[in-house]
Chains A and B, each alone.
Chain A
Amino acid sequence: MQALNIEETKFTMKIDFDPITGFCSMDGNSYPEDAISFFEPIVDWLKDYISQVKGPVKLRIRLNYLNSSSSKCFMDIFDTLEDYHVAGGDVFVEWVYNEDDDEIHDSGEELLEDMSFRYEFVVEND
């Protein structure tokens, strides 16, 4: 299985998903004009990894800004990871936020609070 790498733009995140270590990183801004199309290959990659590699998933998310349609796509990702966790998969999500950024912290909390897999909030200073 191939790694997934997408370069960052002003309105989309840098994506680095590694099938060997299971380390996945999403970093930057997320307000694409069509969030579903942007997230589709990401969700597909995760589903393939879960069904083929069946390894651990360690997802690190570090956002400056996310729009409403991206929030829904993050929910799709977390639902996929939740199913994997319930089926016995090893899932860990790290939600990184800046200490001054309550909005990003709260967005993460609202997306993650109903999930049963392990997740952690990580504070970053400027």
Chain B
Amino acid sequence: MESKVFDHEFFMTESDLFSLYSSGGLEKTILMFKGLLTQDILVVLAEMLSNNLSNDPRQKTTKKMFSIFVELAQNIHRYSSEKFMVENKEVGSGIVLVNEFKEYFTLISGNVIENSNLVKLQTQLEFINTLDEEGLKNYRKEKLKQKREVGDKGAGVGLIDIARKASRQIELRVKQLDNDKSFISFYILLEKEF
């Protein structure tokens, strides 16, 4: 009979796992998740994040973090093209990563979308990134007053809300996978407010 001894070749090395766990040194990973972002998981992760920070005097930062995280996660839930049925509901899959640095946090989210939705997203984000505080406020109001597009469960204001809370412009990176699909990722920076 073939022996079932442990074979390292099947796994990443222990140091790979540790470097992922401790992620370098400068930053500290405080949250890492890949998979289906069901509402239950989203709630647990969001609460975990705010509990992690709430002993902190930076209440304001905690609230902003919670809010940016929820918008990113709900974007994945709604717009990821990798969808699966969970308890009769379609749930999107993706990845979220929150890192803490000395003076700021970074939030990164990623998921696959159809290339047909890419241009609309890029155009919207480019426009949002040109707006200042007042511009964002007015654009948000305009969006809230607009009629919803058929089938859209979001409000089209998620990115605007992220932009208003983030300390820098939102960066969108796109990696085209094939003719139909791309992997997109959002990079958000949130400075700690003391």
**Residue positions of A touching B, CB distance < 8 A:** 10-11, 31-36, 65, 67-69, 71-72, 75, 100-103, 110-111
The smallest C-beta distance from A57 to any residue of chain B, in angstroms, reads 21
The smallest C-beta distance from A124 to any residue of chain B, in angstroms, reads 15
Residues 142 to 194 of chain B near chain A (Cβ within 8 Å):
143-145, 148, 153-155, 157-158, 160-161
Q: Given A10-B47, A11-B43, is A103 in contact with B154 using a C-beta cutoff of 8 Å?
A: no
Cβ-closest chain B residue relative to A72: B155
The smallest C-beta distance from B67 to any residue of chain A, in angstroms, reads 7
Contact yes or no, A110 B140, CB < 8 A: yes
Q: In this assembly, does B115 line the interface, its C-beta being within 8 Å of a C-beta of chain A?
A: no
**Residue positions of B touching A, CB distance < 8 A:** 39, 42-43, 46-47, 59-60, 63-64, 66-67, 70-71, 74, 77, 89, 137, 140-141, 143-145, 148, 153-155, 157-158, 160-161
Known: A11-B39, A65-B63, A100-B59. 7 other contacts (CB 8 A): A10-B43, A31-B46, A67-B74, A68-B154, A68-B155, A69-B158, A111-B144
Cβ-closest chain B residue relative to A111: B144
Which A residues are in CB contact (< 8 Å) with B77? 33
Contact yes or no, B39 A68, CB < 8 A: no
Cβ-closest chain B residue relative to A36: B153
Contact yes or no, B141 A110, CB < 8 A: yes
Contact yes or no, A71 B70, CB < 8 A: no
Contact yes or no, B43 A34, CB < 8 A: no
- In the assembled complex, the Cα of A10 lies from the Cα of B74 at a distance in Å of 16
Which A residues are in CB contact (< 8 Å) with B39? 11, 32-33
Cβ-closest chain B residue relative to A37: B153
Contact yes or no, A71 B155, CB < 8 A: yes
The smallest C-beta distance from A109 to any residue of chain B, in angstroms, reads 10
- In the assembled complex, the Cα of A41 lies from the Cα of B141 at a distance in Å of 24
Q: Given A103-B63, A110-B140, is A69 in contact with B155 using a C-beta cutoff of 8 Å?
A: yes
Contact yes or no, A65 B43, CB < 8 A: no
Contact yes or no, B145 A75, CB < 8 A: yes
Contact yes or no, A33 B74, CB < 8 A: yes
